[in-house]
Structure 1
Amino acid sequence: MIIDKFAVLRKGSGAKMRMIRSVGPELTYKKFVDNNDVVLAAERMVREAPDVSRLQYLAPKTAQNRSLVALELQSDMLSTKPGILVIAALNGMAWGAPNAVLELAEKLLYDTNYQSPFFNDYDWYLIPMANPDGLNFTQSQRHLPPLNAKEWAVNLTARATTRADEWHKNVDTGRSAHSCFGTNINRNFAFHWQDDVSKSPDRCSQWFPGDRPFSTNEARAIRKYVDGLGETIQLAVHLHASFVPKKEYMVYPWRYTLRMPSNHYTLQDIGEYAARLSRQPDGRVYEVHQSSNDGRVAGSVIDYLSGVVGTDLVYLLKPYHKKFPDYKDVNHLKAYVDKSTSAILSLVRGWRRSTKQNTLTFFGVDVEF
């Protein structure tokens, strides 16, 4: 869906001329997107700007035969710049997260206000929908009345007429004949897997981490992709959601332990700066702290990115998102998208500030250019 026509030709940092249009503050995608929407939008961007964008179809496919896609945006394909990775919608209820990533890609590609510094100085690697089966499942059940998730999981009769009141998993049935299904992908990565509990949650739990690390196709696809990027990625963001009103977070590793990461002062400083820049309309700011302060969680993607891939700056971003929002509630969608894109770009600004990149000092005051 394109809201206006290409307007201006402008030469970017690469060698080729490419189309630029002003996107403006309005949403390009005016409904919660599904996996098909994501793929079509990403394919359209690559067709329109082949000199600065690529699309990767990640493998393996999900249990329901969907591909995770990664949209790569580089202002100059002939050089490698600091990489920024954004992984969205690992959780089956984070409906707005793919919208936020697509809107971010639109701004980076087409809006002249975002060309410098955000697009020209960095390479972007975007996975808009990391759990397409889970989102499809929850969206398809949105019209049904809710039932407690634990009761729904064990009551096969109730499943025909109700939905689980929360769903944080994919929908993989695995090889088990058990009536409960699905694995929490964000508990399935092989870094201190299961170090947060003495006994594995049962298969009916929304926190079921799988029978083994990387048992989910989604986690394996992400592992293969990010391992291939390696040291290219210097800032990574897992775009999630907070389902508690007025409780929004910008947190960092470790999740599996209370032990601080070696660069926690830097992570805290960048996070606090980004939180101030992305202050909410009512004056609130994101809570910034080590993520295990809210409870230990092992096998998470941010710990894997930090502990195995070796990415220095890794954040879990959780703007507020209603559980099962009104599918036509454009205002809620826009609020989530605006908060998400603002926070991601604010983290980039905080990172630039911490490295003094593109900064001059005049009379003791740092000025970014």
Structure 2
Amino acid sequence: MFRRPRVFGALAGAGVILLALLAAPAGAQPSAGAPPDRGVYTVPAGNAAARTAVAGSGVDVLGTRDGTMTVVATPAQARSLRAQGFRLGQVGDFDAMLAERSGPPRAAAAAAEFPPGDEAYHTYAEMTEALRAAQRAYPGLARLSSVGRSYEGRELYLIKISDNVDRDEAEPEVLFTCNQHAREHLTTEMCLHLVQRFTARYATDATVRQLVDSREIYVLPQVNPDGSEYDIAGGRYKGWRKNRQGSGTDPNRNWDYRWGCCGGSSGNPRSDTYRGTAPFSAPETRAVANFVNSRVVGGSQQITAHIDFHTYSELVLWPYGYTYADTAPGMNAEQARRFADIGRRMAATNGYTPQQSSDLYITDGSVNDWMWGVHGILSYTFEMYPRTSSGLSGFYPPASVIPRETARNDAAVDVLLRAAGGA
């Protein structure tokens, strides 16, 4: 239902070969032989405090696994980390690796299109049509709306799925959000997979029917459409993370809970973790927050559970991100245990690693902390495939993995949907 004819043919069957080609050789240098403006490095950082120090240096953290971080750093940032005692291993040059992953330039690339071989990923226009197609095909189950507009004026589409979709029933509501970070395109496919699963399989899958009949499901496939479109403009990947407001704001550091409190974001507009000028200064986060606020009915928040999908590292994360403590104001021991229990149950189904968000490194102004801290919503982040990466391949896996890696989360999503009702 969500696929237009694509032209990657035999490439889809060559996922292993493509994945092997994603990373540049270790030690690769720019062709001119000069030090790279932006290098990709591995940084051993064996505990959360060390990882927080690395992240707080202003580098762009690509992923973390088994105590080693993969980051993009300027020469000055690399020198600073080495001066602090960190050992950096250079993987390659960021821009050269992007160019290699994008493939040869096309003579007349579309304004917004994925590079050759990745056409199965959805552009904003294709995502929009997929959501409209779901509403047309299943008018009794799916209703499309918008929570607002992005900085550049794109609709932030939201689709509701329920057995009585036009009624506001007294049922637990669950929200799924994707693509806060522009380059994490696999997450948009994750949200579209949820839409397809809970509509197309409703008539034939007893589990799907039971969940749709007993819940109100909301799916927002692109929180950051401007950044996502920019990242693929001209058919060339750019490794872009933020929105397109000025020099860009990191949406997942812009939420109004402990914003900028604890060294888990940057006040430098050039940083990839720039938190913005104020909480909700990014129109995208403000629009999503306004929708969540609107679900307080009769003094009670109707949304009881939430997953925000990201890539990569294969993790299930839960609040708080701003503090290393398991308990803090607004999170008692029983609540912390429930977060961990549900998180571990979800991770047991998909093979991800479950942990409190701050066990990775400190973040502040994140969506999970806001969802729980302000509204008491069971809010998780899923860091999707791959588990590890030698560079940018984590953000740009081959299109051939989309069906496998999205379906991989079906059982975990079902765990959360049931937990939304107290189970």
- In the superposition, the TM-score normalised over structure 2's length comes to 0.64
Superposed CA deviations along residues 310-356 of structure 1, whole A, max 9, x for unmatched, are: 21x11111112534526xx332323332234443234335x27x945
**Deviation for aligned residue 1:249:** 0.7
Provide the rounded CA distance (Å) in 2 between the counterparts of 1:332 and 1:51. 31
Query: Are residue 122 (structure 1) and residue 215 (structure 2) matched?
Result: yes
1:141: Cα distance to partner?
5.8
Coordinate RMSD, CA, aligned: 2.4
1:332 is matched by which residue type in structure 2?
Answer: V
Q: Match of 1:210, as an amino acid?
A: G
CA separation in 2, counterparts of 1:336 and 1:198? 29
Q: 1:73: how far off?
A: 0.8
Contact 1:101 1:341 in 2 (8 A): no
In 2, the alpha carbon distance for the partners of 1:254 and 1:308 equals 12
2:23 corresponding residue in structure 1 = none
Higher RCO (Cα < 8 Å, 6 or more apart):
2
What residue in structure 2 maps to residue 325 of structure 1? 396
Q: Is the 8 A contact 2:151 2:244 kept in 1?
A: yes
> Which residue number corresponds to residue 295 of structure 1?
361
- Secondary structure (helix, strand or coil) at the match of 2:295 reads helix
Asked if the contact 2:347/2:412 (under 8 Å) is kept, the reply is yes
**Equivalent residue number for residue 89 of structure 1:** 179
SS at match of 1:275: helix
For the pair 1:274 / 2:346, whether they are aligned, the reply is yes
Q: Closer, same or farther in 2 for the Cα pair 1:94/1:342, shift >3 Å?
A: farther
The answer on whether the counterparts of 1:142 and 1:324 sit within 8 Å (CA) in structure 2 is no
Other-structure match for 2:194: 104
Instruction: From the superposition, tell whether residues 222 and 103 of structure 1 become closer, same or farther in structure 2 (CA, over 3 Å).
Output: same
What is the aligned counterpart of 2:125 among 36, 43, 50? 36
Structure 1 pair 34/342, CA: closer, same or farther in 2 (3 Å)?
A: farther
Give deviations 1:66-125, integer Å, cap 9, x for gaps: 110110111124433111110111011110111111111111112122433321221101
2:242 aligned with 1:169: yes
TM-score in terms of structure 1 length: 0.72
Say whether residues 1:62 and 2:156 are aligned partners: no
Matched, 1:194 2:264: no
Alignment of 1:219 onto 2:288: no
- Counterpart position of 1:137: 230
Any idea what SS the aligned residue of 1:58 has? strand
* CA displacement, residues 222-241 of structure 1 (integer Å, 9 cap, x when unaligned): 11111112311111111111
1:234 maps to a residue whose letter is T
In structure 1, what residue type is equivalent to 2:155? S
Which secondary structure does the structure 2 equivalent of 1:54 belong to? strand
Structure 2 unaligned segments of length 5 or more: list them. Answer: 5-117, 387-392
- Relative to structure 1, the CA distance from residue 83 to residue 215 in structure 2 (aligned partners, 3 Å threshold; closer, same or farther) is same
% same residue: 23
Deviations 1:193-244, CA, capped at 9 Å, x for gaps: 00122994311110111011111110111111111123111111111111xx
Q: 1:264 and 1:234 mapped to 2: Cα distance? A: 16
Confirm whether residue 241 of structure 1 aligns to residue 311 of structure 2.
Answer: yes
Distance in 1 between the 2:264 and 2:341 partners? 34
**In 1, Cα distance between the equivalents of 2:136 and 2:404?**
29
**Match of 1:344?**
413
Structure 2 vs 1, CA of residues 198 and 109 (structure 1 numbering), >3 Å: closer, same or farther? Answer: closer
Deviation by residue 1:280-310 (Cα, 9 ceiling, x = unmatched):
xxxxx21112111111111111111111122
Residues 121 and 189, structure 2, Cα contact 8 Å, conserved in 1 = yes
Contact 1:87/1:130 (8 A) holds in 2: yes
Aligned length: 289
Cα distance in 2 for partners of 1:75, 1:237 equals 21
Say yes or no: does 1:46 pair with 2:163: no
Match of 2:159?
71
Report the residue type matching 1:57 in the other structure. S
CA contact (8 A) 2:346 2:415 kept: yes
Where 1:343 maps in the other structure, the secondary structure is helix
Distance 1:199 1:218, change over 3 A: closer
Unaligned runs of at least 5 residues, structure 1: 5-28, 145-162, 174-180, 279-284, 357-369
